[in-house]
Amino acid sequence: MNTVYACIDGLANTDAVIDWSAWAARRLAAPLEFLHVLERHPERAETRDLSGAIGLGAQESLLRELSDQDERRSKLAREAGRRLLAAARERAAAAGAVELDARLRHGEFVDTVLEMQPQARLFVLGEHHRADAPSRVHLDRHVEKVIRSVARPVLVATTEGFDAPRRAVFAFDGSPAARRSVEQAARDPLLHGLPLLVVRVGEDSTLARRQLEEARLALQGAGLVVETELAPGAPETVLPALVRAQAPALLVIGAYRHSRLRQLLLGSTTSTLLRVSDVPVLVLR
């Protein structure tokens, strides 16, 4: 349960995923394994007009041709995957990662991630935004499914570049689940050595200030350098701007295993922050 798994797909921010995973593996003193999954997408398969396939012989001929095309595509995908994994290992080694491995798998991405979970310390993956209107951007389905499914921390590379963070911003709402995340952050070597800003977004109150102070003391007791801030507004508006002002920084948020809380958070604040953040996001579990 100490491997950093970097899930790479060859798309735009693959280099960022490689760099973030190498950074995390060095900080955790953990082995790093690259994972590339070849998924079957029936909706992308080539379609053919079979209306002229009259007779059994013609139909068999077309089926053989389609089978040959599938085999050629599969062979090319495997070769591309092997090259992608080899390049990832080379890049990570140049970044200082030492224990390196790579794995090419066939199947569903989330199922494969869940299979790796018992050995995982951290999953690192990239986010690819999809828009159906200029103002409506959806969270990547792989990112959302992984965060909903796994019980391990997930580091999401939200941009195509890597800039090692000089501090971390921890989104804190004072709930029991958030206090458990404070305990986890206090133990996490990934955050040690980074100055930590604990931010509570919402109304100013005696309770809010007391809970922020309790979080500060717990984290400070674990050896972290901690500041706190109470900011008015909505988390999805305030936090991204605040983190940008701290750049280069890492945004730390929580997602929780209790189904009702998890649905609430992933349906609103957590998903929204992942969607709008232009800095990497560490989701604690």
Q: What is the pLDDT of residue 49?
A: 47
230 and 190, same structural domain? yes
8 and 91, same structural domain? yes
180 and 103, same structural domain? no
98 and 33, same structural domain? yes
Q: What percent of the chain has pLDDT over 90?
A: 48
Q: What is the pLDDT of residue 97?
A: 93
In a domain, 198, yes or no: yes
pLDDT single digits (tens) 123-139: 999 986 544 443 434 45
- Our count of domains for the chain comes to 2
140 and 95, same structural domain? yes
211 or 66: whose pLDDT is higher? Answer: 211
239 and 134, same structural domain? no
90 and 209, same structural domain? no
In angstroms, the Cα distances linking 46 to 49, 67, 109, 228 are: 10, 11, 22, 55
pLDDT single digits (tens) 154-199: 999 988 889 999 999 998 888 887 888 899 899 999 999 999 999 9
135 and 18, same structural domain? yes
Q: How confident is the model at residue 72 (pLDDT cuts 50, 70, 90)?
A: confident
231 and 138, same structural domain? no
64 or 114: whose pLDDT is higher? Answer: 114
256 or 61: whose pLDDT is higher? Answer: 61
Contact predicate 285/153, CB 8 Å: yes
Q: What angle do CA 253, 13, 142 make, to 5 degrees?
A: 60
Containing structural domain, residue 244: 163-284
122 pLDDT higher than 90: yes
Q: What is the CATH number of the domain that holds 110?
A: 3.40.50.620
In a domain, 205, yes or no: yes
Q: What is the pLDDT of residue 265?
A: 42
In a domain, 131, yes or no: yes
259 or 235: whose pLDDT is higher? Answer: 235
- Taking Cα atoms as reference points, which of 128, 212, 229, 202 lies closest to residue 178? 212
Average pLDDT of the chain is: 82
Question: Which of 145, 171, 193 finishes a domain?
Answer: 145
Largest CA distance in the chain: 81
Please tell me whether residue 5 adopts helix, strand or coil conformation. strand
In a domain, 64, yes or no: no
80 pLDDT higher than 50: yes
